[in-house]
Structure 1
């Protein structure tokens, strides 16, 4: 039991302890930037705390930095030492007087991007999503392409376009197909996207790097992934649909990707581990998973405060260990701060679709958002992705930090 008022039984109890970086304008130390954890409705600033109390030697360097980069690179032993130290401080009442001055109300802080994103890779791991998209895009063909059940399909994104939750997202310009050629015989135009979409995903944050040529196994996930974040992979469907053949997504998915400001440690999700769905044909040996390879994470997708979908990550076909293995299977080196996304999380039901492309069947069937119907996102829309998971304490649950973004009009 934690002594922090209001934290016990909340989604931010002592079994969660997500890590992030916050700004406190009234704090002079380090320009107000602090490595921090969240406990209940409070933020515990670890940079200032580590300067005031006895701190484990292996943890001290990671807390003296302006982001989580040093902690990510340090690896599982340091991650475990940090959690053990924090748990002791927050459950032993004798530490209250020393720790309490470093607690701040969540409302008095502002979350910053918690780590410098080294590379961003996005996967396509939900069979329900892939099938529906295939049915929309290839109505007369097989929804799943021949390779889909043999490997987690993915693409490299733009790390520089990853932004923290709360950052507005401007509607992108791009080239899109037109229904009729213009006077010069051109079948495309350059204009703001009309089919702006969202994608509810779970992002995985890489810790220790690997040397070139290193190939990992699925059971090494916890050795190289520190934790998870809610992720929104914004997508301009009209731009994407025109440009992606034959090399795949490019500018239609490279203008913004939003992540939550708090990283939930993988260690906090131990009670959420579940078996993957039946994989047929069986994966090749290097992708084979022994034991639970998925996570029981419930997702809620809201537009302007209205719930439009509730998919479950547990239904996703390819697991994070398999994504990590495929990512490194050719010898690609990992870097601390690499981020890889699950792809759109969708379930079997009509109310479990993780993007508007699915919810509206390609824009053909409007979806109700409160009192209005719409197909794709409008200027001014606020999109929020929330996630919960079982906690490790008896009967507890985790509230993963939400990721939110508001659509701004196209610039110029």
Structure 2
């Protein structure tokens, strides 16, 4: 029986020993998983998708208890939104797992083969990273997403969810365990830590002999703490300060639709718009319409002086507002003088996550795509599309705003590496 099926516990007797045992098991499982063929991995994924649906009632019961304890602990609205599961979200988890199964298996793919003058052929083969450590807050759906992506990419995984979601994660973990056993794969290939002691995180990020990469998913404090203490590479983003820029050449209907959706579709996600930039010639035409919709939705508006000249209901924005990821129904609005000013604002205050322009001017759209230094840049689309599921990755393991080794939503390829391969025929130098 794996840890996912054990009773919930708060601590282990010796954290270091506990984590090193988990790491050793993960490393051994990773070697076995790397040899698994595509059919076997897909069988496990389809079994997992079905198990999630079959166990939906028990998962929801566990989540309801986590939600009750979260409310009693006065978790903020954004965390509670991420924590909550419902039948639709469980169906989405299962669908994401099936989508991962349907994706091409990247492992063993050979590319860029070139014949050298010496007669050897040189190219690349895609291989697993090895053992992936994932640290996350709330979001029990990450448990299924991470297991699916790591399994398909041939990586073992050690998952450490937040204490607020422990029961939900362990319930999902039981589904993962059954699926692995049913497919004949090593059960230790996906391990869910059943302890809440924070020292476990400190041990996990300092085990390069067992863990090849760490992926933190959660608030800025968690990501920063993991990044500062990790002795293994980290795939991360710190903030989601996302912008939508409404250009003077925007279609008004598209501008309203994108700006409303980017802010109000969901408040507690990293791809939610936090700052709206509006080209000065368009401001008086579009802002009153948007303000009416935002106020009706309960969004607090904070604007620059020019914005407040148009919207009396807007509070005065401070310098700090341009640098803030609210994860709440609050929106900063700034009127700018054209595309150059918009790009300058984004590259100064943004977090290199996701930024969008609404315009019918192709030249401006191309400039925006080229000059905005973010991991996802969009034209006439809501920032809420910055998501592995929406990008066709099946699911995502996280979003990276770094430029190495992966950028943007991280799916299967982001969980692999390349090694050089050389083919010869008794070739000598």
TM class, shorter-length: under 0.3
Q: Would you tell me which structure has more strand in proportion to its own residues?
A: 1
Q: Over alpha carbons, which structure has the higher Rg? A: 2
TM-score, normalization: structure 1? 0.25
Q: Would you tell me which structure has more helix in proportion to its own residues?
A: 2
